[in-house]
Amino acid sequence: MLEFEIVKNEKHSKARLGRLKLARGVLDTPVFMPVGTTGCVKTLYHETVRNIGYQLILANTYHLHLQPGEEVLDSFGGIHNFSSWDRNILTDSGGFQVFSLSNLRKIKDEGVTFHSHIDGSIHKFTPESVVRTQGIIGSNIAMCLDVCSDPKVTRKDAVRHMEVTHDWASRSLAELGKLRNDGGKAPDNLFGIIQGAFCEDLRKQSAEYISSLPFDGIAIGGLSVGESHEDFIRYLSYTVNYVDNSRPLYVMGIGSPLYMLKAVENGIDMFDCVQPTRVARHGLLYTKDGVMNITKAKYRNDTHPISDGCSCTLCRNYSRGYLRHLFKAGETFAGTLASEHNLTFFYDFMRNVRESIEQDRFLEFEREFLDNFRTSPL
């Protein structure tokens, strides 16, 4: 079982501080995880990611299965050896990518068949195969295969998706046990995933069922899939009422300050998102005042750094005007500088969140931050 200690519960909300002990380092929660699809956060040296302070990144089982594939990963002895990232790696199960990237998704009881988004070839994931693959990857935290529903799903399909997710959850645990008994390659930890779309009764049922199984942690899936901001908050805060919160709680795929704050407020400990690095490559920079589009003409002659007091390479050495120039000139290095900045912003942001919990002033921090951070909910 995963070592997870709840260090403090905040007085005025469900927010909490935790400590998560993983094989490659101890983490303070709430924690944000950058996405490094293939064991590498896009455009950045590992050293840069580590120096910011990140101890845990997320890699994608779906992508790693397609490229380089299990055979190569196995021959290298897993992703840490393969990618040379020496800290922790959480792998998602591929359930979400099958939902979002593939133009085919055929769900049967046995597993899911899908098209590769790279070459259209046909692949199949089963809950068992996905646990085995994450074992080969050498994942420090693996996720169960689940079925993610569209926000516009019918109730009938939502029920079916939840039931399949539950069946796969118990089969995932069985496969993990089998691997461990047989001395096979098993991931260090396995998290279950709650589904249930946007139906309160299903959410409750799923939260209770997943909590009843001996997972190392629990993820709330099927959120941030295109629903309204109000629905995200409503179904998140509803669902957490029925979750065993002695274990680490994880909301997958969220990466806007607003969503992260709402998640922390509801006792969530972990998040991941491609957002800060993806938008960085398009010239969008996070600051305490909102998201800055550096490609705008008004920054042409601007000699200031992006953010005063930010410790990233960009803010220490480069002006807004030069970063704008690099984007206009199509230099991919612009994306490197911007990615380092946004990940530094997110790291500092989470540190401030933790500090405010420590001081029992999380709600005040949240209000102040959101008042300042004027932007569409990026």
Binding site for a second copy (CB under 8 A): 37-40, 42-47, 63, 67-68, 72, 75-76, 82-84, 300-301, 303, 313, 317-319, 321-322, 325-326, 328-329, 331-333, 335-336
Q: Toward a second copy, which CB reaches closer, 26 or 72?
A: 72
Of 92, 188, 216, 348, the active-site residue reads: 92
How far apart CA 105 and CA 172 sit, in angstroms, is 20
Q: Shortest approach of a second copy to residue 56 CB, angstroms?
A: 19
Q: Phi and psi at residue 29, in whole multiples of 5°?
A: -115, 155
The length of the chain in residues reads 378
Nearest 10 degrees: Cα torsion 300, 306, 311, 313 = -30
Q: Shortest approach of a second copy to residue 45 CB, angstroms?
A: 7
Q: Toward a second copy, which CB reaches closer, 115 or 325?
A: 325
Q: Shortest approach of a second copy to residue 3 CB, angstroms?
A: 29
Residue (of 211, 235, 239) closest to 224 by Cα position? 235
How far apart CA 194 and CA 204 sit, in angstroms, is 9
Q: DSSP of 120-174, one letter per residue?
A: --EEEE-HHHHHHHHHHHT-SEEE----PPPTT--HHHHHHHHHHHHHHHHHHHH
Quick check: helix, strand or coil at residue 195?
A: coil
Q: Shortest approach of a second copy to residue 40 CB, angstroms?
A: 6
Q: Toward a second copy, which CB reaches closer, 228 or 301?
A: 301
State how far Cα 4 lies from the chain centre: 18
Q: Toward a second copy, which CB reaches closer, 1 or 329?
A: 329
Of 146, 188, 269, 272, the active-site residue reads: 272
Q: Shortest approach of a second copy to residue 336 CB, angstroms?
A: 7
Q: Toward a second copy, which CB reaches closer, 47 or 371?
A: 47
Alpha carbon separation from 222 to 141, 189, 243 (Å, rounded): 19, 21, 15
Q: Shortest approach of a second copy to residue 278 CB, angstroms?
A: 13
How far apart CA 322 and CA 162 sit, in angstroms, is 50
Q: Which residues contact 294 (CB under 8 A, 6 or more apart)?
A: 283, 284, 285, 306, 320, 323, 324, 327, 338
Q: Give catalytic status of residue 146 as yes or no.
A: no
Q: Give catalytic status of residue 348 as yes or no.
A: no
Positions annotated as catalytic residues are 92, 272
